[in-house]
Chains A and B, each alone.
Chain A
Amino acid sequence: MRLLKRFVTSPACAGLLGLLVLAALFEVGVAEKVLSPLVFARPTQAIAAIRTLQADEGLAPAFLITLGETLASTVLALLVGIPGGALLYRRRALGEAYEGWLAALFAAPIVLLYPLFLVLFGRGYASVVLMGFIPAAIPIAITTREGLLAIPKTLLDVGRSFRLVPRDMFWKVMFPAAVPAVFTGIRLGVMYALVNIVAIEYLVDFGGLGRIVSDMYFRFEVPGTYASILFVVMVSVVFYWGFGWIERRLRPA
């Protein structure tokens, strides 16, 4: 009983309530034609349309395609970003030369390079994966370098006093010390890969979830459009929370 009372007065409950009220307003508004059904979908219809989407368009396979592309981009980004960041740390001049460029590139509209990739690699998975790879590799490289630079001198001194060879020094001292920082980069990288991949899929009508959103709008299926958007939101929320959870585990207390 007390637990119930605590929940009812909690912000989470208020937020949920707000969402439900908003949904109810849209439901009634569209049903009564105050809001045009050509623009808005009734929330109940949009949710119901997720099932239709699964049956007609294969939402689950599309999700797996997008997931696979994101995974491939992330693996590539790890393979390039972590050694790249370590190199930028080892060769200080390289790090200083490229640090600003990487930050600028990270903020630049990499999505706009997609015609270049389409021209070079065709309208296929290679282009999508590579377009996801670039924005994922940059934060991973940056945070790997920063993580290595921020290792406390004490840890390195301890390693030295044990006369560790460089390889042990790296794997037993430096790498574990840098993991929390690097993971922040990996989390950013995965989110950016996902965002860019969905964006490309949407722009070129190819691949997984982004393509379905584009198709639904193109066919003017208003509930279907909302359903597909809702699904993309849910997927990125799961990613966001999942990685946030892992990151909190990895942070030293």
Chain B
Amino acid sequence: MDRAAAEARVARGGAPLPLPAFTPTQIRLVTVMACVALWEALARTGWFYKGVIPTTASVAVALVGEVARPEFYRHCGITLAEVSVGFVAGGLAGVALGVLFGARRFLWRAAAPYVNAIGSTPKIVFLPILFLLFGVGIESKMAKGALSTFFPVVVSTTAGMLALNPVWLRVGTSFRLTRWQTITKIYLPAMVRPVVTGMRLGLGVGIIGVLVAEIKYANAGLGYLAIQYYTQFDIPRMYAMILIIFTLAVLANVGMTRLTGRFYWDGADAPAETGR
């Protein structure tokens, strides 16, 4: 941190910083190494019940073993299929209903309390209904993914429709745009951002929704694998699986955030994370 910044900080009421400041990258690096070292130390103390904290080496071996197994990719594919179908179905339904709600405000004002209410409940409690409706196979996981994806998308799309500047529509009218032109020239460009933002949030919660459904009742998928290793007390493999799932979920989120960022070309901040 340079001197001027340090002085500004003190002026803001902060204490002066005696430390030579580390860069964020250094701090991250140190944090990762400290976490791994702490884990390794805990694994070697023997304070915990045997096998509960496996050494980092055994987790790494399990990780490699898992990724080398053809069976792993079958489970991966199943989870991917469940997430994709759920995401597309829930996303499309969310956009369609969001556009309808935005166009018919009376309808939205009537439905809003219920949409918000169900949107704020833990969707996992609806799993029994989905199991009753679709069985315990992959269909119920797809449905869970769709249900989870639907809510952020519908809320974001509706908000986008309602925030549409009425002046643009009046300009369109004065240019005598046809209905089709109004849609392609005004509505579509204005709706891109809220829709992709909703989709990004929707994908995040959709992935979680599918995985928890796999954990509860399933016979395939990554969530199922993780919980199976837990029941077999194959702890290194369980940790390896959790690591893989976490990495994939974070990658999906980062990818979607990048994608969303491309639609915020004018430097406007993408809206923050809300809703699950």
Q: Which residues of A contact B (CB under 8 A)?
A: 11-12, 14-15, 18-19, 38-40, 90-94, 96-98, 101, 103-104, 106-109, 111-113, 115-116, 118-120, 156, 159-160, 164, 166, 169-170, 173-174, 188, 191-192, 194-196, 198-199, 202-203, 209-210, 213-214, 216-217, 222, 225-226, 228-229, 232-233, 236-237, 239-240
Judged by a CB distance under 8 angstroms, whether B21 is at the interface is yes
Q: Which residues of B contact A (CB under 8 A)?
A: 1, 5, 9, 11-15, 17, 21-25, 27-28, 31, 48, 52-53, 106-114, 116-118, 120-122, 124-129, 131-133, 204, 207-208, 211-212, 215-216, 223, 226-227, 230, 235, 238-239, 242, 245-246, 249-250, 253-254, 273-274, 276
Residues of chain B within 8 A (CB-CB) of A170 are 13
Q: How far is the CA of A96 from the CA of B12 in the complex (A)?
A: 18
The answer to whether B208 and A111 have CB atoms under 8 Å apart is yes
Of the candidates B13, B27, B116, B245, the one whose C-beta lies within 8 Å of that of A93 is B27
Residues of chain B within 8 A (CB-CB) of A169 are 13
The answer to whether A236 and B120 have CB atoms under 8 Å apart is yes
The answer to whether B212 and A237 have CB atoms under 8 Å apart is no
- A-B pairs under 8 A by CB, number: 176
The SS class assigned to the B binding surface is helix
Q: How far is the CA of A98 from the CA of B252 in the complex (A)?
A: 19
The answer to whether B249 and A108 have CB atoms under 8 Å apart is yes
Give B217's nearest chain A residue, CB to CB.
A217
Residues of chain A within 8 A (CB-CB) of B116 are 240
17 chain-A/chain-B pairs, Cβ below 8 angstroms = A14-B110, A40-B132, A92-B5, A98-B31, A107-B273, A109-B208, A111-B212, A112-B242, A112-B245, A115-B230, A195-B124, A202-B124, A210-B122, A216-B128, A217-B128, A226-B129, A236-B117
Q: How far is the CA of A40 from the CA of B128 in the complex (A)?
A: 11
CB distance from B120 to the nearest CB of A (A): 4
6 more A-B residue pairs beyond the given contacts A108-B253, A116-B242, A156-B11, with a C-beta to C-beta distance below 8 A: A15-B111, A15-B113, A92-B21, A93-B22, A115-B227, A166-B14
The answer to whether B125 and A15 have CB atoms under 8 Å apart is no
Of the candidates B27, B245, B254, the one whose C-beta lies within 8 Å of that of A97 is B27
Q: How far is the CA of A192 from the CA of B120 in the complex (A)?
A: 9
The answer to whether A115 and B242 have CB atoms under 8 Å apart is yes
By CB atoms of chain B within 10 A, which of A112, A116, A198, A239 has the most? A112
CB distance from A235 to the nearest CB of B (A): 8
The answer to whether B117 and A240 have CB atoms under 8 Å apart is yes
Give B9's nearest chain A residue, CB to CB.
A92
The answer to whether A229 and B215 have CB atoms under 8 Å apart is no
Of the candidates A103, A106, A109, A233, the one whose C-beta lies within 8 Å of that of B117 is A233
Give A138's nearest chain B residue, CB to CB.
B273
The answer to whether A116 and B13 have CB atoms under 8 Å apart is no
Residues of chain A within 8 A (CB-CB) of B242 are 112-113, 115-116
Residues of chain A within 8 A (CB-CB) of B52 are 119-120
The answer to whether A39 and B208 have CB atoms under 8 Å apart is no
The answer to whether A198 and B249 have CB atoms under 8 Å apart is no
Which 3 A-B residue pairings sit nearest by Cβ, starting from the closest? A11-B109, A217-B128, A15-B110
Q: How far is the CA of A203 from the CA of B216 in the complex (A)?
A: 6
The answer to whether B106 and A237 have CB atoms under 8 Å apart is no
Given the known interface contacts A116-B242, A191-B120, A213-B128, the answer about A108 and B250 at a Cβ–Cβ threshold of 8 Å is: yes
The answer to whether A229 and B106 have CB atoms under 8 Å apart is no
By CB atoms of chain A within 10 A, which of B14, B48, B223, B239 has the most? B14
CB distance from A113 to the nearest CB of B (A): 7
The answer to whether A225 and B276 have CB atoms under 8 Å apart is no
Give A118's nearest chain B residue, CB to CB.
B230
Residues of chain A within 8 A (CB-CB) of B109 are 11-12, 15
The answer to whether A198 and B125 have CB atoms under 8 Å apart is yes
Residues of chain B within 8 A (CB-CB) of A210 are 122, 124-125
CB distance from B193 to the nearest CB of A (A): 19
Residues of chain B within 8 A (CB-CB) of A38 are 132
